[in-house]
Amino acid sequence: MSSQPSNLRKKNVFQKKRSRFFQGITFGLFVFFIFRASWLCLFSANDENLSRIKKNQYEKTSNLVSYRGTISDHKNIPLAISIKLPSLAVNPKIFRPSKTQVKDLSLLLDIPSEEITELSHKKGYFAWLKRKTSYVVSEKVKELSVGGIFHTLEPSRFYPGNTSAAHLIGLVGTDNTGLLGLERVYNRTLAGESTEVKKLRDARGQSIFTHSASVVPQEPGHNIFLTLDHVIQEITEEALDKKYTESLASSAFAIVADPHTGRILAIANKPGFNPNKTEDLIMKNTTNMSVTSVFEPGSISKSFVIAEALETGKTTPTVLHDCERSGVYKISPSVSIHDDFPKNYPMTTSEVLIYSSNICSYKISQKIGKEDLYKTLKRFGIGKKITGVSLPGLTTGFVSPAESWKEIRFANIAFGQGYITTGLEMIRAYSVFANGGFLVEPYLIARVETAEGELIEGPVKYPEKRVLSGKVAEQMREMLSRVVGEGSGHNAQLESFSAAGKTGTTEKVDPETKAYSSEKRLASFIGFAPAMNPHLVAYIVIDEPRKKPYYGGTWAAPVFKEIMDKSLKYLNIAPDDEPHSAKKND
């Protein structure tokens, strides 16, 4: 009996404490509202603050992404276009799929079941389920009748050529922003202006659409027309892929251009990628070697040595040179240079180029001198920035100053080692021989237009600079045509046209030993056709072929042959009257 009053006392104490707690909360809220009301009465808010409060509570602003402009070749064949693809979103508040529906969605959308289930536990009223899927998949999702899934259309990018010119054109992300290639460099030009749309919201935050008549049409992006020719691009891609695959090379690239104007007609790279299938993307396969790689050019550089010697009167095409019967020439007691295929007789200047003698290239360079050889390379544009092309990772070659050359470096530079260059630089340099002696700038953008067709930007006119006399340029074309007809470039001989060019086989430096590798080679060929009246110039590089022999004449020259044969016929160029017959000497 005595314990009951004690329990009642404890209960009463607890009730009093709880009552005081809630009284305190109530009093606190009352004081807050009194204070807030007094503040609003004594210190009235200005229009700016009231406007901001209204906007936060009742207005919502959205940005509508406009259509990206089209990227086309010079014949208006689209290479990158904008379309609309279905995107799937969910309202997590009502998205409650069954286990069977989760499984079906996972299979259709290629999304783990756990990620789909987690969406129903998210806070808020919106979450993406799958962005930019196909119309077929979108329809199949509708057939599942899952509550809380909403279908919308988003601007997307489609590349009609799939892998063709993919490294050059690039791709965009899910937010329609350029990530690679031209899509990235010219993102602001292509993207257009996003449109800001204001909507009213009710007390629950739901949109109320008003003033529909005041909606302004979106401003699409500008259209870019490239100098590329989609047919020559396809021809180049196909020819390059054959030898890249057959040689088991690590990578390869090819560039085709007009030597008279600098217009780039094709750029192909291997390995390739499909920008329409970004889910399978391997980033290292997106590297555009043709503009990002620097390398030692090898024997194709001997043409610059011969041209300078002819230009300055240090030699003539028929002068004889002692290229050493042994095929070995000592430049110091401990250092020698070699010819892979020594000839047991003196060679004329023309034969030095035809049979690609390292020894005689060095001997002719000695007549030129270090300083003048350095100036020659610079005059041909080696180490000079390419200003007509804007691409991510665009690099520039480099030649060290002549005063720093030791004799072994001098000898190496004479036959194409000891300095670095790029694919576009070599195209620019060899165009000098093809066009009669002028250095012309390679360029890629033909024009930029608005969606209505108004011209915004035309091709930039780069000044031509004469760097070689017309006579010497003609002599070089004759010599280089003999390289194809008689020398190491015989695999580049065309069926209906004459051709001129030079092979290159360059030792690569092993990154581990820091010395020239006995296995890694850069096999290349650069040339133009027809030989005496060139319409096209092309440079092909097969990087690290794993099948022997590693020579440029074996792997790169046949790519040149296929590109030129098909492209010249496509351009309706008349065949030569007497094309050179290919000879089977190495």
Domain-embedded: residue 57: no
The predicted-structure confidence for 537-550, as pLDDT tens digits, reads as follows 999 999 999 998 98
pLDDT at 212: 46
349 pLDDT band, cuts 50/70/90, is very high
The domain boundary, picked from 223, 240, 259, lies at 223
Determine the Cα–Cα distance for residues 443 and 23; give it in Å rounded to an integer: 80
Determine the Cα–Cα distance for residues 467 and 434; give it in Å rounded to an integer: 12
According to DSSP, residue 183 is labeled H
Query: Which comes out higher in pLDDT, residue 570 or 91?
Result: 570
pLDDT at 176: 83
Q: Which residues of 463-478 are buried (b: 16+ CB within 10 A; e: fewer)?
A: eeeebbeeebbebbbe
pLDDT at 57: 52
73 pLDDT band, cuts 50/70/90, is very high
State how many domains the chain has.
2
| Whether the predicted pLDDT of 416 surpasses 90 | yes
Taking residues 362-375, report their average pLDDT. Answer: 96
189 and 281 inside one domain: no
Query: Which comes out higher in pLDDT, residue 146 or 39?
Result: 146
Whichever domain contains 496, its CATH number is 3.40.710.10
Query: Which comes out higher in pLDDT, residue 30 or 371?
Result: 371
| Cross-strand pairs, 156 | 83
The CB density around residue 334, as the number of other CB atoms within 10 Å, is 7
State which residues form the domain around 164: 63-223
Whichever domain contains 195, its CATH number is 3.90.1310.10
pLDDT at 42: 63
* Residue 541 in tokens: 């590089």
| Whether the predicted pLDDT of 210 surpasses 50 | no
Q: Give percent of the chain with pLDDT exceeding 70.
A: 85
According to DSSP, residue 340 is labeled S
Nearest to 542 by CA among 252, 245, 237: 252
Query: Which comes out higher in pLDDT, residue 362 or 32?
Result: 362
The predicted-structure confidence for 224-243, as pLDDT tens digits, reads as follows 999 999 999 999 999 999 99
Query: Which comes out higher in pLDDT, residue 287 or 132?
Result: 287
| Whether the predicted pLDDT of 44 surpasses 70 | no
| Whether the predicted pLDDT of 88 surpasses 70 | yes
Q: CB of 346 within 8 A of CB of 320?
A: yes
Taking residues 383-403, report their average pLDDT. Answer: 94
End-to-end CA distance of the chain, in Å? 121
243 and 148 inside one domain: no
The CB density around residue 200, as the number of other CB atoms within 10 Å, is 13
Q: CB of 269 within 8 A of CB of 543?
A: no
429 and 512 inside one domain: yes
132 and 261 inside one domain: no
Q: CB of 190 within 8 A of CB of 161?
A: no
Give phi and psi for 303, each to the nearest 5. Answer: -60, -35
Helix (H, G, I), strand (E, B) or coil at 205: coil
208 and 306 inside one domain: no
Domain-embedded: residue 7: no
pLDDT at 13: 62
| Whether the predicted pLDDT of 206 surpasses 60 | no
The predicted-structure confidence for 171-200, as pLDDT tens digits, reads as follows 998 788 899 999 999 999 998 765 554 555
Give strand ranges (E) for 142-250. 149-158, 171-172, 178-180, 195-201, 207-208, 223-226
Helix (H, G, I), strand (E, B) or coil at 446: strand
- Residues in Cβ contact with 47 at an 8 Å cutoff, skipping those fewer than 6 apart: none
The CB density around residue 92, as the number of other CB atoms within 10 Å, is 17
- Residues in Cβ contact with 7 at an 8 Å cutoff, skipping those fewer than 6 apart: none
Q: What is the dihedral of CA 194, 200, 206, 209, to 10 degrees?
A: -70
pLDDT at 361: 95
Q: CB of 249 within 8 A of CB of 545?
A: yes
214 pLDDT band, cuts 50/70/90, is very low
Determine the Cα–Cα distance for residues 552 and 539; give it in Å rounded to an integer: 11
* Residue 355 in tokens: 């049979």
How far, in Å, are 485, 509, 534, 551, 573 from residue 430 at the CA level?
18, 25, 11, 20, 21
Q: CB of 363 within 8 A of CB of 411?
A: no
178 and 261 inside one domain: no
Domain-embedded: residue 545: yes
203 and 239 inside one domain: no
Taking residues 117-133, report their average pLDDT. Answer: 83
How far, in Å, are 374, 405, 437 from residue 371 at the CA level?
5, 10, 21
Q: Count how many Cα atoms sit within 13 Å of the Cα of residue 579 in the half-sphere of its side chain.
A: 19
50 pLDDT band, cuts 50/70/90, is low
238 and 213 inside one domain: no
Instruction: For 122-151, give the secondary structure using H, E and C.
Output: CCCCCEEEECCCCHHHHHHHHHCCCCCEEE
| Whether the predicted pLDDT of 257 surpasses 50 | yes
Taking residues 68-93, report their average pLDDT. Answer: 90
Domain-embedded: residue 310: yes
Q: Which helix (H) or strand (E) holds 62?
A: strand 59-64
Nearest to 297 by CA among 102, 202, 428, 173: 428
201 and 88 inside one domain: yes
Determine the Cα–Cα distance for residues 32 and 354; give it in Å rounded to an integer: 96
Q: How far is residue 362 CA from its own chain's centroid?
A: 37
Q: CB of 251 within 8 A of CB of 271?
A: yes
- What average pLDDT does the structure give for the chain? 86
Entry field: residues in the chain: 586
Cis-peptide into 549, omega within 30 deg: yes
The pTM for the full model equals: 0.80
| Whether the predicted pLDDT of 216 surpasses 60 | no
Domain-embedded: residue 115: yes
31 pLDDT band, cuts 50/70/90, is confident
The domain boundary, picked from 205, 223, 241, lies at 223
Domain-embedded: residue 110: yes
511 and 378 inside one domain: yes
Q: Give percent of the chain with pLDDT exceeding 90.
A: 56
Determine the Cα–Cα distance for residues 8 and 372; give it in Å rounded to an integer: 112
| Whether the predicted pLDDT of 503 surpasses 90 | yes
Cis-peptide into 558, omega within 30 deg: no
Nearest to 191 by CA among 222, 170, 213, 149: 222
206 and 325 inside one domain: no
For the chain, the C-alpha Rg in angstroms (whole number) is: 35
pLDDT at 493: 95
Domain-embedded: residue 14: no
- Which string of DSSP letters, residue by residue, matches 34-45? HHHHHHHHHSPP
Domain-embedded: residue 176: yes
155 and 241 inside one domain: no
Nearest to 585 by CA among 477, 494, 507, 482: 482
pLDDT at 11: 57
